[in-house]
Chain A
Amino acid sequence: MEDQDIINEFLIESAENLSRLEQEIVELEQRPSDPQLLAGIFRTIHTIKGTCGFLSFSNLEGVTHIAENLLSQLRNGERTLNPALISLILETVDIVKKELAHIESSGKESGEPYEDLRKRLTLACEGKQTEQSQAPDPQKSITGKPESEEAAASQTSTGSSQEVERSTVGKQSSVADSTIRVDVGLLDKLMNLVGELVLARNQILQFNSRQEDANLNSTAQRLNLITTQLQEGVMKTRLQPIGVVWNKLPRVVRDLAASCDKQIQLVMDGADTELDKSIIEAIKDPLTHIVRNCCDHGIETPAIRTRNGKSPQGTLALRAYHEGGQVNIEISDDGAGVDPVRVKQKAIEKGLLRPEQAERLSDRETVNLLFLPGFSTAEQVTSISGRGVGMDVVKTNVEKIGGAVDLSSRVGEGTTVKIKIPLTLAIIPGLVVNSGGERFVIPQVSLLELLRLEEDTAKNQIERIHGTPVYRRRGRLLPLVYMNEALGLATRSANEAQQVVNVVVLQAEDRQFGLVVDSVLDTQEIVVKPLGKQLKKVECFAGATIMGDGGVALILDVARVGRKAIAVQEREEAHSESEQERRSAKAVQTYLLFRAAGLRRAAIPLAEASRLEEVPQSSIEFAAGRPVIQYRGDILPLISLSQVLGKGHNDTAFQSDPVHVVVLRTGERSVGLAVDEIIDIATDVVERADESSQRGVLLSTRIGGKVTDLLDLQALFAACGAQVFPDVAQSLDALRAGISQQWEPMATVEVVQ
Chain B
Amino acid sequence: MSTQEVSQSGARRYATFSVSDMFCGIDVGQVQEVLRYQDMTPVPLAPDVIRGLINLRGQIVTAVDLRRRLRLPERNEQQKPMNMVLRCEGGAISLLVDEIGDVIDVDGCQHELAPSTMDPFHRDMVETVFKLEGKLLLALDTAKVLRIDTTP
Please give the residue numbers on chain A whose beta carbons come within 8 Å of chain B beta carbons, in ascending order. Answer: 196, 199-200, 436, 438-439, 487-489, 529-541, 544, 546, 550-554
Known contacts A532-B61, A532-B90, A544-B60, A538 near B55 by CB under 8 Å: no
Q: Are B93 and A488 in contact (CB under 8 A)?
A: no
Known contacts A532-B90, A533-B149, A534-B93, A540 near B39 by CB under 8 Å: no
Q: Are B62 and A531 in contact (CB under 8 A)?
A: yes
Measured in the bound complex, the distance between the Cα atoms of B53 and A488 in whole Å is 17
Q: From A540, which residue of chain B is reached at the shortest CB distance?
A: B45
Q: From A195, which residue of chain B is reached at the shortest CB distance?
A: B58
Known contacts A534-B64, A534-B93, A534-B148, A541 near B58 by CB under 8 Å: no
A553 cross-chain contacts in B, Cβ below 8 A: 41
Verify if B82 is at the interface (C-beta below 8 Å from A).
no
Known contacts A487-B45, A538-B46, A554-B43, A532 near B62 by CB under 8 Å: yes
Q: From B39, which residue of chain A is reached at the shortest CB distance?
A: A551
A533 cross-chain contacts in B, Cβ below 8 A: 90-91, 149
Verify if B19 is at the interface (C-beta below 8 Å from A).
no
Q: From B40, which residue of chain A is reached at the shortest CB distance?
A: A552
Verify if B42 is at the interface (C-beta below 8 Å from A).
yes
Q: Are A535 and B43 in contact (CB under 8 A)?
A: yes
B148 cross-chain contacts in A, Cβ below 8 A: 534
A200 cross-chain contacts in B, Cβ below 8 A: 58
Q: Are A537 and B62 in contact (CB under 8 A)?
A: no
A439 cross-chain contacts in B, Cβ below 8 A: 41
Q: From B89, which residue of chain A is reached at the shortest CB distance?
A: A533
- The 22 sampled A-B contact pairs (Cβ below 8 Å) are A200-B58, A489-B44, A529-B59, A529-B60, A530-B60, A532-B62, A533-B91, A533-B149, A534-B50, A534-B62, A534-B149, A535-B50, A535-B62, A537-B149, A538-B45, A541-B43, A544-B41, A544-B53, A551-B41, A552-B40, A552-B55, A552-B60
Measured in the bound complex, the distance between the Cα atoms of B44 and A436 in whole Å is 10
Verify if B138 is at the interface (C-beta below 8 Å from A).
no
Verify if B70 is at the interface (C-beta below 8 Å from A).
no
Verify if B146 is at the interface (C-beta below 8 Å from A).
yes
Q: Are A534 and B55 in contact (CB under 8 A)?
A: no
B55 cross-chain contacts in A, Cβ below 8 A: 546, 550-552
Docked complex: B77-110 residues within 8 A CB-CB of A: 90-91, 93
Known contacts A534-B50, A551-B55, A540 near B93 by CB under 8 Å: no
Q: Are B146 and A534 in contact (CB under 8 A)?
A: yes
Measured in the bound complex, the distance between the Cα atoms of B42 and A505 in whole Å is 25
Within the complex, what minimum Cβ distance (angstroms) separates A280 from chain B? 27
Q: Are B41 and A552 in contact (CB under 8 A)?
A: yes
Measured in the bound complex, the distance between the Cα atoms of B60 and A551 in whole Å is 10
Within the complex, what minimum Cβ distance (angstroms) separates B17 from chain A? 20
Q: From B44, which residue of chain A is reached at the shortest CB distance?
A: A487
B59 cross-chain contacts in A, Cβ below 8 A: 529
B90 cross-chain contacts in A, Cβ below 8 A: 532-533
Q: Are A196 and B58 in contact (CB under 8 A)?
A: yes
Q: From A543, which residue of chain B is reached at the shortest CB distance?
A: B60
Q: Are A536 and B93 in contact (CB under 8 A)?
A: no
Verify if B54 is at the interface (C-beta below 8 Å from A).
yes
Within the complex, what minimum Cβ distance (angstroms) separates B32 from chain A? 14
Most chain B CB within 10 A, of A529, A533, A540, is at: A533
Measured in the bound complex, the distance between the Cα atoms of B148 and A395 in whole Å is 32
Most chain A CB within 10 A, of B43, B50, B52, B59, is at: B43
A531 cross-chain contacts in B, Cβ below 8 A: 53, 60, 62
B64 cross-chain contacts in A, Cβ below 8 A: 534
Q: From A544, which residue of chain B is reached at the shortest CB distance?
A: B60
Known contacts A487-B45, A537-B149, A199 near B58 by CB under 8 Å: yes
Within the complex, what minimum Cβ distance (angstroms) separates A26 from chain B? 45
Most chain B CB within 10 A, of A533, A534, A536, A540, is at: A534
B44 cross-chain contacts in A, Cβ below 8 A: 436, 438, 487-489, 540, 554
Q: From A483, which residue of chain B is reached at the shortest CB distance?
A: B44
A436 cross-chain contacts in B, Cβ below 8 A: 44
Q: From B152, which residue of chain A is reached at the shortest CB distance?
A: A537
Q: Are A552 and B53 in contact (CB under 8 A)?
A: yes
Measured in the bound complex, the distance between the Cα atoms of B53 and A398 in whole Å is 29
A488 cross-chain contacts in B, Cβ below 8 A: 44-45
Closest 3 CB pairs of A and B: A487-B44, A532-B62, A552-B41
Interface string of B25-58 (1 = CB under 8 A from A): 0000000000000011111111000101111001
Measured in the bound complex, the distance between the Cα atoms of B62 and A322 in whole Å is 37
Within the complex, what minimum Cβ distance (angstroms) separates A542 from chain B? 13
User: Can you add 10 more A-B contacts, CB < 8 Å, to A534-B148, A552-B40?
Assistant: A533-B90, A533-B91, A533-B149, A534-B149, A535-B46, A537-B149, A540-B45, A544-B53, A551-B55, A554-B53
Q: Are A536 and B149 in contact (CB under 8 A)?
A: yes
Measured in the bound complex, the distance between the Cα atoms of B123 and A268 in whole Å is 67
B54 cross-chain contacts in A, Cβ below 8 A: 552
> Which of B40, B41, B43, B60 is A538 in contact with, Cβ under 8 Å?
B43
Measured in the bound complex, the distance between the Cα atoms of B53 and A529 in whole Å is 12
Within the complex, what minimum Cβ distance (angstroms) separates A264 from chain B? 47
Measured in the bound complex, the distance between the Cα atoms of B59 and A544 in whole Å is 10
Within the complex, what minimum Cβ distance (angstroms) separates A687 from chain B? 41
Q: Are A532 and B91 in contact (CB under 8 A)?
A: yes
Measured in the bound complex, the distance between the Cα atoms of B45 and A488 in whole Å is 7
Within the complex, what minimum Cβ distance (angstroms) separates B150 from chain A? 9
Q: Are B42 and A438 in contact (CB under 8 A)?
A: yes
B61 cross-chain contacts in A, Cβ below 8 A: 532
Q: Are B41 and A554 in contact (CB under 8 A)?
A: yes
Interface string of B125-152 (1 = CB under 8 A from A): 0000000000000000000001011000
Most chain A CB within 10 A, of B45, B46, B59, B64, is at: B45
Within the complex, what minimum Cβ distance (angstroms) separates B42 from chain A? 7
Q: From B49, which residue of chain A is reached at the shortest CB distance?
A: A534
Within the complex, what minimum Cβ distance (angstroms) separates B45 from chain A? 5
A539 cross-chain contacts in B, Cβ below 8 A: 45
Within the complex, what minimum Cβ distance (angstroms) separates B49 from chain A? 9
B50 cross-chain contacts in A, Cβ below 8 A: 534-535
Q: From B148, which residue of chain A is reached at the shortest CB distance?
A: A534
A535 cross-chain contacts in B, Cβ below 8 A: 43, 46, 50, 62
Measured in the bound complex, the distance between the Cα atoms of B54 and A550 in whole Å is 9
Measured in the bound complex, the distance between the Cα atoms of B88 and A535 in whole Å is 14
B146 cross-chain contacts in A, Cβ below 8 A: 534
Q: Are B62 and A546 in contact (CB under 8 A)?
A: no
Within the complex, what minimum Cβ distance (angstroms) separates B88 from chain A? 8
Most chain A CB within 10 A, of B52, B55, B90, is at: B55
Within the complex, what minimum Cβ distance (angstroms) separates A560 from chain B? 11
B62 cross-chain contacts in A, Cβ below 8 A: 531-532, 534-535
Measured in the bound complex, the distance between the Cα atoms of B60 and A554 in whole Å is 10
Measured in the bound complex, the distance between the Cα atoms of B149 and A550 in whole Å is 27
Q: Are A546 and B45 in contact (CB under 8 A)?
A: no
Within the complex, what minimum Cβ distance (angstroms) separates A517 from chain B? 13
